[in-house]
Amino acid sequence: MRQYINWKTYLITVALIIVTATLYYTNQLAKKLSIEEKNRAELLIKALKELNTEGEADISFAFEVVTNNKTTPLIIVTEGDSISQYINIDTVGAKDAKGLVERKLEEFKDEHPPIVSHFGSGQNYIYYGDSYLLRQLRFFPYVQLTIIFLFLVVVLITISIAHRSIQNQVWVGLSKETAHQMGTPLSSLVGWMELLKDHEVNKEAVVEMQKDVDRLQLVADRFSKVGSVPNLEEENLVDRLRNMVDYMQKRAPSKVAISLNSQTDYVPVNISGPLLDWVVENLMRNALDSMDGKGSITVTVQNHPQQVWIDIQDTGKGIPAHQVKKIFNPGFTTKKRGWGLGLSLAKRIVEKYHHGSIFVKHSEPGKGTTFRIILRR
């Protein structure tokens, strides 16, 4: 995960460097082109001045300069602030040509300071605007930035999907291998249990041992179901939770009380019983680990028309605020032992297999934590 985050950071950093360099280079080109356009505008003004000069001077060069200017738009304003002439402003088809030129004049005033020149009847102010090429050049970096941003989004989504796929394969492979490895000793234990039942031994001890063997078989069955789509069957959720509460109470410290609260004894929900038991058991074991051998765990069922809520509340140490968003990440754990896969698998079971949700409803250091599971009808 750390390598993945670092790689993603490097990718974003390189993209930002490229964007910054492009913006700088394009800005320098735009400045140079703007200077060239100003020079071109001044040359055009000189040509216009030459054309407006009375006499027999050779005006062929000036005429050529004026007629060849197809890019730089100009508006010539007299001392009386009236528009006397405009060049390279397309007014063909405009309903209000005068209004269009006046609006362009206001734009040009914001873009560049005027060039003052004396020709014709007196002093003139020439306002010029950016050419189409210069406007495109200034707009280009933002287009490039958008393309790079979209490219980054696509790359990050692809990496995320690939990472999640690898993660799922690891989970499935680990679960299948665990179930396979547990199969051989479980078969032997079942055989030894049958031999013990045939001999006069402590029957109460044999009964409890049989329960633990059955439990191990259930755990192996759970692992074998990870990675395959489970069959959801309608069950009474209250009965399922009550059995889990009774099971965990027998294995909890004597000073820990585990209770179940439900307004009704019958709450039918489509679930995979063994997998949902795994989720609830995992949350309860985490709650027990967060206590110092005393406290309480309360399981509350709220029955709604479209959803069923299961709240598992404990009086343990709580979860610091900066860790709440990380607890479902694979590999994250605050324990000295463990792989940090319990809550990650619980989230997978609830969200992917049951199409529900699981999250930390509330947690306060020193006072406890409440997890909420939401199952759809």
Task: Render each residue's pLDDT in the chain as its tens digit; 377 residues.
Answer: 454 456 667 777 777 787 788 778 777 777 777 777 777 766 666 666 665 555 544 445 544 555 556 667 777 777 777 777 777 777 777 777 778 887 888 888 777 777 777 666 667 777 777 766 667 777 777 777 787 778 778 877 877 777 667 666 666 666 666 666 676 677 777 777 777 777 766 777 777 777 777 777 777 776 666 656 678 899 999 999 999 999 899 888 989 999 999 999 999 999 988 889 989 999 999 999 888 889 999 999 999 999 999 999 999 999 888 888 888 876 667 666 555 677 888 898 899 889 999 999 999 988 999 999 999 98
The token duo for 274 is 């063994």
Fold of 231-376: Heat Shock Protein 90 (3.30.565)
Tell me what pLDDT residue 3 has. 47
Which residues lie closer than 8 Å to 218 by C-beta, 6 or more apart?
274, 277
CA 95 to chain centre: 49
Tell me what pLDDT residue 90 has. 74
Domain boundaries, the chain: 2-130, 231-376
Tell me what pLDDT residue 300 has. 96
Tell me what pLDDT residue 371 has. 96
Tell me what pLDDT residue 59 has. 46
Virtual CA dihedral for 319, 324, 326, 330, nearest 10 degrees?
Answer: 70
* Whether pTM exceeds 0.75: no
Q: Distance between CA 7 and CA 13 in Å, rounded?
A: 10
Tell me what pLDDT residue 266 has. 94
Q: Which whole-number Å values give the CA distances from 48 to 35, 67, 72, 73, 222, in the listed order?
A: 20, 11, 14, 14, 90
Q: Distance between CA 98 and CA 369 in Å, rounded?
A: 73
Tell me what pLDDT residue 222 has. 67
Considering only CA atoms, which of 55, 36, 56 is closest in space to residue 44?
36
